[in-house]
Amino acid sequence: SGSRSSKTFKPKKNIPEGSHQYELLKHAEATLGSGNLRQAVLLPEGEDLNEWIAVNTVDFFNQINMLYGTITEFCTESSCPVMSAGPRYEYHWADGTNIKKPIKCSAPKYIDYLMTWVQDQLDDETLFPSKIGVPFPKNFMSVAKTILKRLFRVYAHIYHQHFDSVMRLQEEAHLNTSFKHFIFFVQEFNLIDRRELAPLHELIEKLGSKDR
């Protein structure tokens, strides 16, 4: 697995083949291939919104995992002593269970906490049921929103602190496409508060204006 693209930060989360969610993922990949991202994020006709959000959340986790995996060597305790997205935004970690009071920590530590926490949510069958017919819990939407809000912070950190490394690795097209897909998705279903998106506001405007 010497190639860069196969390096992920955390183990990839797989959607079981043959499941309905796998079919949905295939649908998402096919529409993405058409190059129209606004079209690609729309809820497929007759599909369950929760399931569509679940499949895409897993997919974004895997994408961010891979993107961050390419730059982990540049994101260190000394290069990034705080988890920030530019000088005006700093994030402190709390998950509400193990760490109740937000703690200040380095970016690699924060992202490790964050991705481990997301992984735990995705692996929880009561939150993200993978079996057909098992209903999503009532709090599913609020959990999904929290996951996506936190995943956004990893994009924000990469853009603000590591974009030069991304350019050197020639990964910027990959990063931009992934982020644009993510933003169109959260905008379509109103999943992240505008205030939370502020660190990348200009980039989001730019990505959106090209598509109108």
Instruction: Provide the annotated binding site for Zn(2+).
Output: 75, 80, 157, 162
Q: Which residue has the tokens 């939407």?
A: 141
* Rounded Cα distance, 44 and 204, in Å: 24
Q: 3-class DSSP state for residue 10?
A: coil
Give the annotated binding-site residues: 75, 80, 157, 162
**161: nearest Cα among 91, 41, 80, 47:** 80
14-30: b (≥16 Cβ within 10 Å) or e: ebeeeebbeebbeebee
Q: Report the run of H or E that residue 149 belongs to, with start and end.
A: helix 140-168
